[in-house]
Amino acid sequence: MLSLLKGRYRARIAETPGDIRAAQRLRWLAFVAQRRDAPLPPDDGPEIDADAFDAICRHVLIEDARGTLVACFRLLPLAGGREIGRSYSAQYYELGALADYPGRMVEMGRFCLRPGVHDPDILRVAWGAMTRFVDAEKVEMLFGCSSFMGTEPETYLDAFAMLRERHLAPKRWLPRVKAPHVFRFARKLRDRKPDAKRAMIHMPPLLRSYLLMGGWVSDHAVVDRQLDTLHVFTGLEIAAIPPARARALREVAG
């Protein structure tokens, strides 16, 4: 059973329906309540973010020293690329190129922080917990959707231009368009030279972590109006993580 205690924070796998409910409540606070157009729940309905994938995923909770849930995410282990169609990401991306991936995979999704909490140590503990899981399960590829807040790409043009210039998926794994509404940044920003400082300011922290480890992205962003986000498919081949960064992750996980 995954459990990791580092400094003020502890990461653990959800063990009870109450644990999962707490994660769903935190997700609602992070993904729904923050939106200006947030829909009100039914009069007798709970304020939670839940979907059918919750039942087949493992949920990781990160709590502070008082036991307050400050972050969470969920994991969907897959035996290999032949199971990629079961993933959350497969709803939005054509992932046929990954169907032949031979190694074990895990999809990381619904990562969120409690609104108002910005301690970078939380992200470090999250990656430490993920590293422990990856090593224990012999995972060879980590993937998921990395989200930019809002559905208008103009704020993020430098970030998308940097993704196009430096971080596109290898052609053999490149996801194709499936969603009805997308921003094809690799095409539209072909002639744009990114401002590196502005790009990194607007790059989501989780995606920034993926990229620092050698991660790559799809050539387009999905416009998800339901969650009020733009998201890119993100992949990370574990063997490609730079050795120094892999050692640092294992120090946190140890």
Task: State how far Cα 139 lies from the chain centre.
Answer: 16
Q: What does the pLDDT read at residue 5?
A: 83
Burial of 151 (0-12, 13-18, 19+ CB in 10 A): middle
| 182 phi-psi bin (left φ>0, alpha ψ -120 to 50, beta other) | beta
Residue that the structure tokens 């849930």 belong to: 69
- Give CA torsion, residues 122, 123, 127, 132, to 10 deg: 10
Q: Each residue of 216-253: pLDDT tens digit?
A: 999 999 999 988 899 999 999 999 999 999 999 898 88
Q: What does the pLDDT read at residue 48?
A: 92
Q: What does the pLDDT read at residue 203?
A: 96
- Which residue, 53, 60, 55, 52, is CA-closest to 4? 60
Q: How many helices (H) and strands (E) does the chain have?
A: 7, 12
Q: What does the pLDDT read at residue 41?
A: 52
Q: What does the pLDDT read at residue 6?
A: 82
How many residues are given for the chain?
254
Q: What does the pLDDT read at residue 226?
A: 85
52 with 77: CB under 8 angstroms?
no
Q: What does the pLDDT read at residue 16?
A: 96
- Which residue, 226, 235, 92, is CA-closest to 151? 226
Spell out the per-residue pLDDT of the chain, length 254, in tens. 577 888 899 999 999 999 999 999 999 998 888 765 555 555 555 789 999 999 999 999 999 999 999 999 999 999 999 999 999 999 999 999 999 999 999 999 999 999 989 898 999 999 999 999 999 999 999 999 999 999 999 999 999 999 999 999 999 999 999 999 999 999 999 999 999 999 999 999 999 999 999 999 999 999 999 888 999 999 999 999 999 999 998 988 87
Q: What does the pLDDT read at residue 45?
A: 56
Residue 240 backbone phi and psi in degrees, to 5? -90, -5
* Structural domains in the chain plus CATH codes: 3-253 (3.40.630.30)
Q: What does the pLDDT read at residue 37?
A: 55
Other CB atoms within a 10 A radius of the CB of residue 19 amount to 16
C-alpha pair distances (Å), 184 with each of 161, 198, 222? 11, 20, 9
- Which residue, 34, 209, 181, 33, is CA-closest to 108? 209
Q: What does the pLDDT read at residue 4?
A: 82
d(CA 218, CA 2): 30
